[in-house]
Amino acid sequence: MYRYNDFDTAFLAERNDQFRQQVARRIDGSLTEDEFRPLRLMNGLYLQLHAYMLRVAIPYGTLRSAQMRQLAFIADKWDKGYGHFTTRQNIQYNWPKLPDVPDILDALAEVQLHAIQTSGNTIRNVTADHFAGAAADEIADPRPVAELLRQWSTDHPEFQFLPRKFKFAVTGSPNDRAVTKAHDIGVRMIRNDKGEPGYEVLVGGGLGRTPMIGKVIRDFLPPEDLLPYMEAIVSVYNLIGRRDNKYKARIKITVHETGLDTFREKVEARFAELKPAFSGVDQDLLREIEGHFAPPAFRNAPTDAYEAEREANPAFRAWADVNLAAHRAEGYAIVTVSLKKHGATPGDATSDQMRVLADLAERYGHDELRISHEQNVILPHVHKSDLPAIYAALREADLATANVGLISDIIACPGMDYCALATARSIPVAQEIAERFEELKLEHDVGPLKLKISGCINACGHHHVGHIGILGLDRAGVENYQITLGGDGTEEATIGQRTGPGFAYDEITDAIERIVRAYLELREDPEETFLMAYRRLGMDPFKAALYDEAGKAKAHAA
């Protein structure tokens, strides 16, 4: 993992001191709220429905145990004993008091964390595959590249006031777990026909009110060209991106209105100007960063304890079947810890749970944790012989839910319970759906199904790329929930299709059940997933089940 040097430490201390002075000026009235707003947003501080919210960056989703413990300490001392992990691999504190925020930032700095550029029209937290450095299917660990992008973009003088917020995602696997095609820039580590390493670069992806899939602007970019090419893309966008309409200010609209070919020409011209200024120092820095990400010392040990526990304990076996992923090292597994207990708030973890996860990572996981964009926590390097002990500890901490990748493993934004922009509730809908399918005991039979919920058109819950997506809207003061089907956030990324009219708050869970029951009746065999069945059959049979059955139910009730 990357460790701060003296420059990093001094830089962060200076930034925090500046913000401490700004907060003091806001409290004594020297700054109005309008004057303070851009300053607080540059430091990740929002004003939501009921209180301030502080969004803390977890760079490319990677944490050490000491950092997780500090997040727990902050939750206890300055918040309400929990934190919310987000789809941007951040953590949010929903109840900090303004006078305490500088102290929180100093506490974060003690463990090399910060909240810089987690808001504002600038380059946000760079995200990456949450299995990075561990996945069996990985070409290369993308985190050094993500760290290089983080250092380059932090306080970049040209890019502090972009037309709109800007998001990067990086993956080192052909199986895209970082949703690169739904980002302003996606970087995919690849090898060309000669086996040489490089990058496929995507541009213009994004969700929100105008969802678009990113387009390939360079199918192969040599490693030494990465930073000048990224700078070329962002500088062209900064120059020609729209500032007259915030709804048309994202780079996806710039690429769409300009045309990919014309946009590419502008980028290539700017790249030709910038490249001579990059003397190779960036590559020296990348090599230095790569030294921070050397793999841990994996051990060679028998896995008999794991096999015996699988045989003897059905609950452990059910958990292992869905919460473990293949690791590149023999005898190891990647553990995804679900933060989606049925009926709980997706993505929330108590301070006690954070400390349990930190302890497990320190004792069994080579001191590494990851946060996924799916709002779960990962122990990336666990020897299988330690899995029974880990499972027992997770059960005691109420963290052993066996539902990763299933319908109750729901991505959900905070919605109208917290967010000032939300037009509908997300959390109660997610809770009710998860509880329904737990009561029905259907989700393991249903198998892989990604359900995502957003409480407004900004799509923070990624509903557009959910196999089933739910968008909550306000219709004349009444919550109305639209459903989309067939979305996909992988390397085959697709925007889901809307089924038709939306449903009231008290109808949406029944509607989702009708869709799922239709799938169970229509699938060819249990190996055909929901997404596979939808792609084979199309919308019509699901639409019929959704609306025809709803009409029958209403008629029967009457």
Q: Find, among 211, 222, 124, 210, the residue nearest to 169 by Cα.
A: 124
CB 540 within 8 A of CB 499: no
Q: Tell me, what's the pLDDT at 558?
A: 43
Q: Going residue by residue through the chain, which has 558 residues, state the pLDDT in tens, using 9 for 90 and above.
A: 999 999 999 999 999 999 999 999 999 999 999 999 999 999 999 999 899 999 999 999 999 999 999 999 999 999 999 999 999 999 999 999 999 999 999 999 999 999 999 999 999 999 999 999 999 999 999 999 999 999 999 999 999 999 999 999 999 999 999 999 999 999 999 999 999 999 999 999 999 999 999 999 999 999 999 999 999 999 999 999 999 999 999 999 999 999 999 999 999 999 999 999 999 999 999 999 999 999 999 999 999 999 999 999 999 999 999 999 999 999 999 999 999 999 999 999 999 999 999 999 999 999 999 999 999 999 999 999 999 999 999 999 999 999 999 999 999 999 999 999 999 999 999 999 999 999 999 999 999 999 999 999 999 999 999 999 999 999 999 999 999 999 999 999 999 999 999 999 999 999 999 999 999 999 999 999 999 999 999 999 999 999 997 666 654 554
CB 452 within 8 A of CB 465: yes
Taking the C-alpha atoms of residue 438 and residue 364, their distance in angstroms, rounded to an integer, is: 30
Q: Tell me, what's the pLDDT at 557?
A: 54
DSSP characters over 377-417 = EEEEEEEGGGHHHHHHHHHHTT-----TTSTTS-EE--GGG
Q: Tell me, what's the pLDDT at 335?
A: 99
CB 466 within 8 A of CB 452: yes
Q: What is the residue type of 273?
A: E
Other CB atoms within a 10 A radius of the CB of residue 113 amount to 22
Q: Tell me, what's the pLDDT at 6?
A: 97
Domains of the chain and CATH, by start: 6-110 (3.90.480.20), 127-291 (3.30.413.10), 304-396 (3.90.480.20), 411-546 (3.30.413.10)
